[in-house]
């Protein structure tokens, strides 16, 4: 079987223009982790269930394990590496630190992006709304309570989300 023709995909990742030469059905998660060496996005299941691979894709939360390269042409992508501004952590990241939202940390990048997406759409969510907003991000360590606490705390903080 002959391999497919590679394609050029031009997109913006964390504000930087990136050009990838890749197969059309390569998974965005692999392009980010391997071609762009942005290993902050994690693979927990490969089937869109765990959300560890969550990123912002044209301002929407998506599972990067389910996005083919061909869809990334012209896309605006934010990964966990694009959340902090240099050494300055985003409010949600600080909240995760202070309120115990991260234990083993493997779900954390996806969880933080999901929280950011939620708070952009709903700056003062109820706990029920937080639960729904994070329902696609599985955590095995925390039992979720301190993740809710972290999100609620981030709401109270002013500044960069």
Partner 1 sequence: MRGNVPLYEMRTPKSLPDALDLLHEEPGAWKPFAGGTDLMVLLEMGLLRQKNFLNIHGLAELRGITFENNRLTMGALTTFSSLQSHAAVQKHFPILVQAARSVGAVAIQNRATIGGNIANSSPAADSSPALLVYDAEVELVSKSGSRWVPYRDFHTGYKQTLMQPGELIKAIALSPVPGTSFYKKVGARNAQAISKIAFAGVTEFSRGQLNNVHIALGSVAPTPIRCFGTEAFLCGRKPDFKTISEAKKILSSEISPIDDIRSSSEYRLRVSLNLLEDFLFHVELDRKAH
Partner 2 sequence: MFRKPPDFTYFGIIRAGRRQKHGGAGNRGPTPHCGTAGFFLLDFSAEIQDFEKMTQPSKSTECPLPLRKEGREKVTGRAQYVDDLTFPNMIFGTTVRSSVPRGRIRKIFFEGDIPWNEIVIVSAKDILGKNSVAHILDDQPCLADELIHHAEEPILLLGHSDRFLLEEARRNVRIEIDPLPPVLSIDDSLARKEIIWGKDNTFKSFLIQKGDVNQAWNKAHLVVEGEYVSGAQEQLYIEPNGMIAFAEPGGVTVWGSMQCPYYVHHALTSLFDLPKDKVRVVQTETGGGFGGKEDYPSILALHAALLSRKSGRPAKFIYDRAEDMAATTKRHPSRTRHRTAVTKDGRLLAMDIDFVLDGGAYATLSSVVLSRGSIHAAGPYNCPNVRISSRAVATNTPPHGAFRGFGAPQSIFALERHMDHIAAELGLASDEFRRRNLIQEGQTTATGQKIRENPDLEGLLKSALDSADYNKKSALFTKENRKPGQKIKRGMGISVFMHGAGFTGSGERFLASVAGIEATPAGKIRVLASSTEIGQGARTVFSQIASEALAIDFDDIEVVQPDTNLVPNSGPTVASRTTMVVGKLIESAALALKETLIQSGYLANSYTRGEFKNACANFIARTGPLRVFSQYQQPEHIQWDDEKYLGDAYGTFAWAVYVAEVSVDLSTFETRVENFVAAQEIGKVMHPLLAEGQIEGGVVQAIGYALYEDVLWKNGSMWNNRLTNYIIPTATDVPRVKVLFKENPYRYGPKGAKGIGELPMDGVAPAILNAVEFATGARVDRIPLLPEGLMKALQSPEQGRKMLRRGDK
Instruction: Give the interface with partner 1 as residue ranges (CB under 8 A).
Output: 1, 3-5, 23-27, 30, 46-49, 51, 54, 57, 60-63, 65-68, 70-71, 73, 114, 117-118, 132-133, 135-138
Shortest Å, Cβ 66 to partner 1: 4
Site size toward partner 2, by CB under 8 A: 55
**Residue 42, binding choice from partner 2, partner 1, none, Cβ under 5 to 8 Å by partner class:** partner 2
Q: Residue 43 interacts with partner 2 (CB under 8 A)?
A: yes
Contact stretch for partner 2 (CB under 8 A) within 5-13, 56-64, 70-78, 131-139: 131-139
* Cβ partners under 8 Å of residue 5, min gap 6: none
Measured between alpha carbons, how far is 103 from 96 in angstroms, rounded to an integer? 10
- Distance separating alpha carbons of residues 140 and 121, to the nearest angstrom: 26
What is the footprint of partner 2 within residues 100-129 (CB under 8 A)? 100-109, 112
Closest CA to 112 of 39, 53, 27: 53
> Strand pairing partners for 60?
57
Q: Reduce the DSSP state of residue 39 to 3 states and report it.
A: coil
Candidates 4-12, 42-50, 56-64, 69-77 — which segment interacts with partner 2 by CB under 8 A?
Answer: 42-50
Rounded to the nearest 10 degrees, the angle between the axes of helix 145-156 and helix 108-121 is 50
**C-alpha count within 13 angstroms, C-beta hemisphere, residue 83:** 26
Residue 74 or 140: the one with the smaller Cβ distance to partner 2 is 140
Give 10 or 146: the residue with its C-beta nearer to partner 2.
146
């Amino acid at each position: 079987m002959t391999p497919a023709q590679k394609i050029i995909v031009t997109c913006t990742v964390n504000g930087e223009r990136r050009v990838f030469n890749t197969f059309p059905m390569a998974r965005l998660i692999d392009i980010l982790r391997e071609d762009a060496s942005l290993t902050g996005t994690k693979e927990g299941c490969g089937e869109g269930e765990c959300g560890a691979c969550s990123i912002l894709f044209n301002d929407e939360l998506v599972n990067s394990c389910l996005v083919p390269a061909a869809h990334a042409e012209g896309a605006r992508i934010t990964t966990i590496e694009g959340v902090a501004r240099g050494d300055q952590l985003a409010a949600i990241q600080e909240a995760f630190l202070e309120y115990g939202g991260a234990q083993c940390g493997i779900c954390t990048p996806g969880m933080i992006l999901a929280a950011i997406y939620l708070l952009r759409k709903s700056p003062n969510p109820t706990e029920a709304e937080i639960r729904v907003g994070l329902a696609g991000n599985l955590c095995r360590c925390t039992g979720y309570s301190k993740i809710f606490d972290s999100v609620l705390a981030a709401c109270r903080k002013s500044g960069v989300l």
